[in-house]
């Protein structure tokens, strides 16, 4: 295996400079923890949660008739609100 390689070999550099590598690792860890704890956190973040339950009754009609003629139309109208 030749020691002459093209370009910068980060792994080889890290192995040749173990103290500096450990120092950089600790600095990156400290900066990472610091950045994590400085992140803004909302206890109750703002978002809109919309849900509805539509229950329709039509005595004597089939389930499909109620769905097509009443429930679907009612749901579309309520979604606009």
Is 28 in contact with 20 (CB distance < 8 Å)? no
**pLDDT (tens digit, 9 = 90+) per residue, 21-45?**
999 999 999 999 999 998 887 777 7
Angstrom distances, CA of residue 59 to CA of 28, 50, 62, 64, 71: 69, 29, 9, 13, 14
Q: What is the reported pLDDT for 17?
A: 96
Q: What is the reported pLDDT for 12?
A: 94
- The average confidence (pLDDT) of the chain is 87
> What share of the chain in percent tops pLDDT 90?
37
DSSP category for residue 60: T
Q: What is the reported pLDDT for 18?
A: 96
> What share of the chain in percent tops pLDDT 70?
94
């Amino acid at each position: 295996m030749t020691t002459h390689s093209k370009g910068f070999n980060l792994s080889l550099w890290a192995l040749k400079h173990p103290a500096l590598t450990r120092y950089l690792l600790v600095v990156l860890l400290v900066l990472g923890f610091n950045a994590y704890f400085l992140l803004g956190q909302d206890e109750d973040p703002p978002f809109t949660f919309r849900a509805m339950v539509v229950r329709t009754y039509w005595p004597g009609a089939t389930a499909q008739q109620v769905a097509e003629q009443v429930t679907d139309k009612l749901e579309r109208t309520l979604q606009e609100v």
